[in-house]
Structure 1
Amino acid sequence: MAGRRLPLGRLEVFLNAQCVKVNPDSPQKQVRFLTLSGDKKLLTPQPRLTTEFFSVLDSQMIPTGCIPEASTPAGAAKYGRPLGLDEKIKVDLIVIGSVAVDPNSGARLGKGEGFAELEYGMLRYMGAIDDSTIIVTTVHDTQLVDDIPLEKLQVHDVPVDIICTPTQVIFTNTTTPKPQGIYWEKLSPEKLSQIRVLRELKARIEHETGTKLPCGPSVKLPQPQASKEEELEELNCL
């Protein structure tokens, strides 16, 4: 599993972080456990953002011996509290998964559903993060590639500053700009209908500004499926 013998836990940027946002996928379960075990605040989205927005967990909120359970999506919902869009919170570090990542540029490929980008954009809207917020991805060494063309990246794609594998830590020194928020013109009606918090946010902004936000073209959404990193994790757990 990306996360065993975790080099991330020895990094100064992690040790100094008070609040860490970690994606809810299985390969990052150990990162969530490490965050809570280190008496840090954990911010994790509910899977696919279909029920709630983010859950906030603090080790003091979790009964003794229950941190492993709290590190799962169901446990995060059980022991965490929902984060509102108006809440003031500062995220010191972001940890995301990747299907593939280029150490030379920090460019990454996800599952193709855009949830990492949407979560990042919403945190930018809330003022919880900015350009200086470090982004880490935890992957297997086999997921390192050198053929992600920078010219194919889109404005909402999230680059990474640090790559952690079970054997090494890579500082990408990426110069790829980080997204500045949510790019509504990239969101299809189907994606909006899938995520309630996005619909609520869009309606709020339109009400506050008196301006109708753009919407992307209609698309057929892909069926959820296990990513390459999840397949690798399952193989390693056999």
Structure 2
Amino acid sequence: MTDDAPPSWGVLSDMDGTLLDTENTWLRVVERFVDDHDGADAAGLAAASEGLDLDRAAALLRTRLGLDDTHEAVAHDLDRRALAAYAESVTWRPGAPELLRALVDAEVPLALVTSSPRHWVERFTRSVDLSAFRVSVTADDTTRTKPAPDPYLDGAAALGLDAGRCVVLEDSLVGAWSAVSAGCATVVVGDPDRSLPPGVHRVRSLNEVDVRMLRTIAHTP
């Protein structure tokens, strides 16, 4: 691909739990929040928060726990707790840095599409190199976050591509629905036994994913 030729396909990737080992940290933050507010089924509420942006998670917990605190106060507390937890360590998921390097070497354009706020992404760049991504779409950049299709539609548009020419890497059900609703081919990393939208490709680890596989899924010669 020359510098002036448009890309024929691209990759849009979720961040937490897909590329970075941060999802479990977030779930532990939610569990501790529930425990600190004398709530029951901390693990269940944490699971229900998987893939949600900060505002949606705050709304869920405020409702389910019957909290008197304002939505803004709950979101602020979760944000504070999460940043403190993330300060300890942010690391790659297995196979993630190798796949990103291979995609960059193959000149495949990349967009980061995450439900995390931009200041979390900026915090993570202190620990890991996210420069492979040409653009990033965060929870701050779209009116409707995952599972709405908007984040992935915006990510594709930022790369100058139709969503149907993009392959999405995801790990959550919320994210998978967002990607499928946007019209993207979708690869879900992780537990293969969960109920997922029809037509998605399942892998246990990014170690199973390479450029040739993604190009085939994108139906690109």
Larger fraction in strand:
1
Q: TM-score, normalised by structure 2?
A: 0.31
Larger fraction in helix:
2
By relative contact order (CA 8 Å, sep 6+), the higher-ranking structure is 2
Q: TM-score, normalised by structure 1?
A: 0.29
